[in-house]
Amino acid sequence: MTETILHSSEKRIEPQVIIRGLVWKVAIATFLLMAVGSATRVMNAGLACPDWPLCYGQLVPTQQMNLQVFLEWFHRLDAALIGFSAIALSGLSWWWRKELPTWLPWAATFALFLIIFQGILGGLTVTQLLRFDIVTAHLGTALLFFCTLIVIGTTLTPLTAASDNSVTSSLKWWGLTAAILVYIQSLIGGLVASRWSLHQCFGSFQLCNVMNSHIIGVFPPTIATIILVWLAWRNPKLSSSLKRLANVAGGLVTLQIILGIATFRLHLQVEPLTVTHQAVGASLLGVLVAFTVLAIRETKTDYKLKIKS
């Protein structure tokens, strides 16, 4: 009997492992949600469901279902699943708070607040007929929620190695700077999309200033990311995890520039290209946030090791 109890206790999964797995699953779902939201916009499906939160007064509008209705309906379905997952994340964090880091329940509650606010904005985008400022705020909140999940997940992931403190102390600031600049550029891109600035500029020479601000805004985050990657390459004492993230960031920023040029030259006429452009931007933001958090953690770990020695 005693052996059975011991055996069952050995199989118990730690709460932190469960929370970490849930966070990464919700982060992936959020990324997919933003991609579907981008597809909904470029396919002019934002008002395919004229009411909210139901669609044509139904949970599943089978009679009205077409590609546009499906995109908007699936976007809401994914958002609802993420909302329930955020409730579970917050609830479990408080339930297991004695076995988890003290900051985790508060971080999970902040994530829950963001997703509730995101849901309100989602409803307003429909009731206010896709008003551009609400649509842009909707995107900004989604990105902030996504970044919050990345911060939580990266912080809960065990460290495999630590870099030299002198190396990560500067890299963490470059990572943070690049992440902030990419976030701002994403908001400007959302504004360009929500106001259809590219179409209006090419068609009637209106809102060209909005479009040009996005084009000019490419340079600061690109330069910051390139500097980050260059500093990572020239530091042999950098951990393998940070090196991989830096390499991914370099690849993503290169791909993003190529997609941006192609999207501009094709006047947003190729919908999958536009969706991919926005998805790569969100991926770059997530990678930079993860890099920054990991660099901060490795700096603290290296400092603690020096204090102990």
Domain containing 42: what range? 15-158
Predicted local confidence at residue 159, as pLDDT = 83
> In this structure, is residue 6 part of a structural domain?
no
pTM of the shown model: 0.90
The distance of Cα 153 from the centroid of its chain, to the nearest Å, equals 12
> In this structure, is residue 8 part of a structural domain?
no
Residue appearing with tokens 């690849």: 251
Q: What is the torsional sign of CA 175, 179, 185, 189? A: positive
Q: What is the torsional sign of CA 30, 31, 36, 38? A: positive
| Boundary residue ending a domain (143, 158, 173) | 158
Q: How do residues 98-136 score in pLDDT, each as one tens digit?
A: 999 999 999 999 999 999 999 999 999 988 888 889 999
> In this structure, is residue 5 part of a structural domain?
no
**Amino acid residing at 81:** L
> In this structure, is residue 307 part of a structural domain?
yes
| Boundary residue ending a domain (107, 139, 158) | 158
| Angle, CA 85 vertex, CA 84 and CA 87 arms, to 5° | 65
| Residue 112, Cβ density class (10 Å: 0-12 exposed, 13-18 middle, ≥19 buried) | buried
Report how many domains make up the chain: 2
Do 63 and 191 reside in the same domain of the chain?
no
Predicted local confidence at residue 269, as pLDDT = 67
Do 251 and 191 reside in the same domain of the chain?
yes
Do 215 and 268 reside in the same domain of the chain?
yes
> In this structure, is residue 4 part of a structural domain?
no
What is the phi/psi pair of residue 58, to 5°?
-130, 155
- Whether the bond into 53 is cis, omega within 30 of 0: yes
Predicted local confidence at residue 161, as pLDDT = 65
Do 23 and 130 reside in the same domain of the chain?
yes
Do 227 and 90 reside in the same domain of the chain?
no
- 55 secondary structure, DSSP code: B
> In this structure, is residue 68 part of a structural domain?
yes
Measure the CA–CA gap between 4 and 10, rounded to whole angstroms: 10
In DSSP terms, 55 is beta-bridged to 58
| Angle, CA 305 vertex, CA 300 and CA 307 arms, to 5° | 95
Do 154 and 168 reside in the same domain of the chain?
no
Q: Does residue 8 have a pLDDT over 50?
A: no
Do 178 and 298 reside in the same domain of the chain?
yes
Choice among 101-115, 237-251, 288-302 with the minimum mean pLDDT? 288-302
